[in-house]
């Protein structure tokens, strides 16, 4: 049984910081200011950035060939026929923030789903007890101020799947204390644009292990679970085919009791060699499951090879099922501008054709639901504007060498705006 959701209220935020939360159509309770000397017990709940309805749809895209993760996500979006609302990003403890992929997402109008794990770039681990003690506060403050400086909403997962780390970083209680320390330090720095998730594997919610890791409701905004249909591909996991609903059932029961919204930072399925087309239907069934469980508000697909091959394009029927899932109005939980240039680099004079047709409004099927749009070519020439669905193709000629920031801004039928910015290089 799903936990009942009441319509979240729309807080009034100052310009800058959380203005974008409202521009994205996201809602939640804002935190009170926390003084620098605040103790752990004085911390207040943060903003959740829950969509009013539907699912914020996203992905992690594994690299192929020479592409980086940004190019890999672009490729997946073209394959899926839609722009992603959310992008999963993995980072280590001492990696400077915001990283280039976080910055790229903010430029493109996506919401970063950032994981920071307790491991340094040199491969050494950071003990959770060390974080909890305050010994890592300098690093936490640096991250807090850097992410605060973006002025835009993002989701943050501290050390995803700590239940799979064994004793490498410490005990469950030390994890919970480290989580509380991170959240406290962030709030002491006045961070109000970050929403925090505890993310475990589904079995921990079933076995009772999740309770020991839980930092407490004042610190956790989201309960996350990485859910997979293994179908025997991992000898230590499930040997039979299972629906996404079966995979996430334990976390739904647990999170409903806590009164927390749910995100799936990773989820995926393998193919069934004996039943062609079964994975494509698995995606279609996932849509109906999302609608039955409105507490699931974020779903980020794991498009890569991990323990098993989770690629969306494992078959034509899988791609078709993923497209059907991603095109549905329920998986468009915010406005999305989608700017697709025919080229991003070339020699002057350079003629570029921009496809705007995939831009989508809240709770609208892909390519529909917008009331107005504006395209800025970035070279000082007149902007092009229109009403309704953005004109599919706009062509522009760049005569001078330079770097141009081209931006498409859409306003959907609810008045929510989203901007997608692409950089063109003319040589």
Q: Strand 350-355 vs strand 393-398: parallel, antiparallel, or unpaired?
A: antiparallel
Greater confidence (44 vs 9) lies with 44
The domains of the chain, with CATH numbers, are 19-331 (3.20.20.80), 340-426 (2.60.40.10)
pTM: 0.90
Q: For residue 48, what pLDDT band results from cuts at 50, 70 and 90?
A: confident
Sheet holding 417-426, edge to edge: 345-346, 417-426, 402-412, 370-376, 384-387
Q: Strand 262-269 vs strand 222-229: parallel, antiparallel, or unpaired?
A: parallel
Closest CA to 77 of 290, 281, 303: 303
Tokens encoding 18: 């959380």
209 touches 248 (CB < 8 A): no
pLDDT of residue 10: 28
d(C-alpha 308, C-alpha 304), whole Å: 9
User: H-helix or E-strand containing 125?
Assistant: none
Catalytic residues: 161, 266
d(C-alpha 19, C-alpha 22), whole Å: 6
Q: 285 by DSSP, 3-state: which?
A: helix
For the chain, give the longest Cα–Cα distance. 64
- In 83-236, which ranges are continuous DSSP H helix? 100-108, 128-133, 137-148, 172-188, 202-207, 210-213
pLDDT tens digits, 114-158: 999 999 999 999 999 999 999 999 999 999 999 999 999 999 999
Average pLDDT of every residue of the chain: 90
- What does the pLDDT average to over 171-196? 97
Greater confidence (344 vs 3) lies with 344
């Amino acid at each position: 049984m799903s936990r009942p959701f009441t319509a979240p209220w729309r807080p009034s935020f100052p310009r800058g910081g959380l203005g974008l939360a409202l521009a994205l159509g996201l809602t939640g309770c804002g935190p009170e200011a926390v003084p620098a000397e605040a103790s752990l017990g004085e911390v207040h709940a943060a903003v959740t950035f829950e969509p009013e309805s539907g699912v914020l749809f996203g992905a992690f895209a594994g690299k192929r060939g020479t592409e980086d993760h940004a190019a890999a996500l672009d490729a997946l979006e073209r394959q899926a026929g839609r722009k992603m609302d959310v992008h999963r990003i993995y980072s280590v403890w001492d990696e400077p923030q915001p990283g280039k992929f976080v910055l790229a997402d903010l430029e493109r109008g996506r919401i970063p789903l950032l994981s920071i794990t307790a491991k340094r770039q040199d491969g050494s681990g950071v003990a959770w007890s060390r974080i909890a003690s305050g010994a890592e506060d300098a690093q936490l403050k640096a991250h807090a101020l850097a992410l605060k400086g973006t002025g835009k909403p993002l989701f943050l997962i501290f050390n995803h799947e700590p239940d799979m780390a064994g004793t490498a970083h410490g005990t469950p209680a030390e994890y919970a204390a480290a989580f509380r320390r991170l959240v406290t330090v962030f709030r002491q720095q006045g961070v109000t644009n970050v929403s925090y998730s505890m993310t475990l594997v589904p079995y921990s919610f079933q076995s009772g292990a999740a309770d020991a890791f839980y930092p407490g409701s004042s610190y956790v905004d989201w309960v996350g679970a990485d859910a997979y249909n293994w179908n025997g591909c991992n000898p230590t996991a499930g040997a039979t085919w299972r629906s996404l609903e079966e995979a996430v059932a334990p976390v739904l029961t647990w999170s409903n009791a806590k009164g927390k919204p749910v995100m799936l930072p990773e989820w995926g399925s393998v193919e069934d060699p004996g039943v062609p087309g079964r994975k494509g239907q698995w995606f279609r069934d996932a849509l109906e499951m999302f609608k039955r469980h409105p507490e699931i508000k974020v779903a980020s697909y794991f498009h890569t090879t991990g323990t098993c091959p989770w690629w969306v394009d494992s078959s034509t029927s899988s791609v078709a099922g993923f497209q059907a899932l991603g095109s549905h109005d329920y998986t468009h939980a915010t406005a999305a501008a989608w700017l697709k240039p025919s080229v991003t680099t070339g020699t002057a004079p350079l003629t570029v054709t921009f496809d705007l047709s995939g831009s989508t409004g809240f709770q609208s099927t892909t390519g529909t639901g917008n009331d107005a749009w504006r395209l800025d070519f970035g070279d000082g020439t007149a902007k092009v504007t229109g009403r309704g669905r953005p004109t599919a193709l706009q062509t522009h000629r760049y005569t001078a060498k330079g770097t141009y920031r081209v931006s498409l801004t859409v306003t959907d039928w609810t008045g929510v705006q989203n901007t997608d910015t692409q950089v063109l290089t003319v040589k």
